[in-house]
Structure 1
Amino acid sequence: MVHCPECDSDLDQQQDVEFVEMDAETGFFAASKRFYVVACGECGAAIGGGVAGAKA
């Protein structure tokens, strides 16, 4: 079982976490990848993140 490092709530179901997509645009150019952060659904603490692939 996984627990949130901030609030110690259980993270055992998909709805226990939130996937937040971050805007990759900087200035005139948009990045070709989509960045995301995985956050605790209870307190909102960032747990992880990554790159989701090419932006359509």
Structure 2
Amino acid sequence: MVHCPECETTLEEQADVEFLDMDSTTGIFKTSKRFYLVACADCGAAIGSGVAGAV
């Protein structure tokens, strides 16, 4: 069983976490990748992150 490191909520389903798309266009150049943050849906604590190719 997986738990949030901050609030100890059990994370069992996709609805238990939020996938936040971090803006990849904040600099001078638009990047070809998208950055994501995975957060606990209950308390908002960051659990992980990732990068995905964008079109």
TM-score (norm 2): 0.92
2:15 partner SS: helix
Identity of aligned residues (%): 65
Q: Where does structure 1 lack aligned partners over 5 or more consecutive residues?
A: none
Partner of 1:30: 30
Partner of 1:40: 40
Bigger strand share? 1
> Mapping of 1:1-56 within 5 angstroms?
1-53=1-53, 55-56=54-55
CA RMSD of aligned residues (A): 0.9
Aligned-partner residue type, residue 7 of structure 2: C
Off by >2 Å, runs of 4+ in structure 1 = none
TM-score (norm 1): 0.90
